[in-house]
Each structure stands twice: as structure tokens, then as C-alpha cells.
Amino acid sequence: MFELLFLGTSASAPSIHRGLSAHLVIARDYRFLIDCGEGTQRQILRSGVGFKRLNRILITHSHLDHILGLAGLLSTLVRWESLDELEIYGSRWALDRVQDLIYRVVFRNERLPIPIHLVDVQEGVFFETRDFTVSAFPVTHRGAGCLGYIFQEKARRPFLVERAEALGVPFGPERAKLVRGESITLADGRVVQPDDVLGSEVRGARYVHTGDVGRTDDIVEYVRGAHALVTEATYLSADAELAQQFGHMTAAGAAQLAAEAGVQTLILTHLSRRSRERDVLAEAQAIFPNTYVARDFDRFSINKERGVTKLVSEQVDSRAALESADESEPLELLDDSPLEL
């Protein structure tokens, strides 16, 4: 039901291997960009997905490593792409900073060719289609107005073909009506109710993205039962004091959250340049084995029946794959706070 494309997986500042925070969530004909770190538009181009239908952006919080890419991306989208409008969702605190960036820097004293809507998001559902909802929940990081997001496919009752055939329900619009919850009358006058041919309700796919987060006890229930949880692993346990100081998570902490909340698959992002990818993965898998560490341009599909599958991308050239390679040595002395202003 949902597909994820990671565009940037570094914490605080980019490295030669990883861009800053951004990833796409694709749900049927809808595209949502979650966060927009510096360089995101180039990552979109390199990924091969392009800018079409990219008219909804969700901001987790106002730190610069999550919003600076909006400047270039919005300039491109407004001037060159055939969008009717653009919607940016976030907390009031995040949107205040985004508004300054847009109207005091990028489009200062300009009349925009398309409307840009800044949508103040509160806890709960703020976007809904026939097939899925998107909701927000509060997270604890540094500063006010930090949000996580939940993509929830709506539950469905499966159509039981054998029952329909036994009752003589013909193919065509009659079956479609029953799926929609409407009763039908057969040619011989018998009335067939939806309950006669529909099975028990099946929960839809659930994807949870926490953004940057410094504690987990207050988000367990939001995360519970997710098919996929994407959260940060900025630090290793050896740097737990730094994690606490800057309001971030260790790989072990992320894994403990996944285990406690009963998620199916954990995907880690927002990695510090201090850490080797393999060390982050090992620390998390020791607690929660079904863990991935996302690299730039990694793709995952989330399906209610098949769970989470890592996809093989053919869009990014071999150089991109090479640049996603694990660092041979950690950069021990780096301070991961400078762009988190």
C-alpha cells in the first residue's frame, strides 16, 4: 500500500555518503515528502522519481537540517512544475520558520504563480482519502512543536468469492455494490446482504515515522502495531549522554521502542557521522533482529499481507550505490548539533 524512498539519511550535516533528512512516501497516486533537508531536490532528481504530483510536504520540526532544502525545492516547483497548489504541513512553530524562509528569503516581494498553503497540524487525522489516512502525534525532541506522522491504510473486509458463487451473485456491478456495503436483489428476488459475502475486517498497512525524538515512553501507543517504523538512530549506546543532551535516540533505544510497541520492521535513519553503519545495525539487531539501516535511495514497500520488503532500485546509477557505502572509519570528534538550530 505504501512505498518509501529515502532521499537523505544523515543527522545534522550531510556526509559524502548521506544527504540530509528527507524521504518520499508514495500511496497510490499521492506523494508526500517528509522533511526537506539541504540538497533534497537534487536527491529527487538522482532517484529518478521526478517532481510530478509532489505537492504535499510534511515537516516534523523546525531544525535547519530538516527544512533548508525547501528554499531550492520550492523555487523549482513553483517556477517549473505544473502544480495547481502546494501544501506544507507542520506545527505552528515549524511553519513560522518555514514562512520566514519562503517569504523573506526565497520569494521576497514576489507574487507567486501558485498558492502555497501552510497547514497548521494538530494531533490526529489531518488528511484522508478513500483508502488511507495521515495523522500526526507529538514527539519530544528539542523545542516545541515536534511531530511524528502515521500513514494508516483503512481496514477492508475481503470479498469471499466462494460464498458469492454459492449464492449466485453474478460478476459485475452487483459484486461491487456488495463490497461497498450495499445490499443487492438477484434476478429471482432473493436479497443478498454484504455480510453474506464479506469476511471479517482486515487491518490495513500502518507506517509510522517519528522524526527526531529524545524519549520513547510517550509515543509507544502511537507506534504500536506498525508494519514499519522509521525512526532515528543518531547515536550508539556509547554516546548515550550525547543523545540525551541533544534530544536524540541511540540505536538500542530505537530497537527497544520497536520491541515494546510490537512493530514488524524497524528502519533506522538520521545517522551521525560519528558512527559506522554496521555498528548501528549490530546494536539494534541485538535487541530487534528485523532491523534495517536506510541508505540514501533505498526503497521499501509496506503491504498488509507481505509486510515490509526492501526493493531493488534501478533508478540510481552505480556511483550513487558506491557513495552509499559504509564509512570505513567513524569521525569520532564531530559535533552533531550545528545545523539543529
CA–CA separation, 103 vs 98, rounded Å? Answer: 9
Cβ contact 274:248 at 8 Å: no
Q: What is the DSSP letter of 187?
A: T
Q: What is the DSSP letter of 48?
A: T
- Identify which of 10, 19, 121 has the alpha carbon closest to the alpha carbon of residue 61: 121
Cell reading at 250: 541511540
- Alpha-helical (H) ranges within the chain are 40-47, 70-80, 92-100, 161-167, 173-179, 194-197, 220-223, 240-246, 251-261, 277-285, 318-323
Based on the residue annotation, tell me whether 65 is a catalytic residue of this protein: yes
Q: For the purposes of burial, counting CB atoms within 10 Å of the CB of 187, is it exposed (0-12), middle (13-18) or buried (19 or more)?
A: exposed
Instruction: Give residue 323's identity as a one-letter amino acid code.
Output: E
CA–CA separation, 48 vs 317, rounded Å? Answer: 10
Distances in Å between the Cα of 252 and the Cα atoms of 6, 74, 161, 259, 301 are: 22, 36, 46, 10, 24
Phi, psi of 195 (to 5 degrees): -65, -20
Phi, psi of 202 (to 5 degrees): -110, 125
Cell reading at 269: 535513519
Which contiguous run of DSSP H or E holds residue 268? strand 265-269
- Identify which of 182, 218, 226, 211 has the alpha carbon closest to the alpha carbon of residue 269: 211
- Identify which of 322, 321, 332, 308 has the alpha carbon closest to the alpha carbon of residue 230: 308
The active-site residue, picked from 35, 65, 239, 298, is 65
Catalytic residues: 65
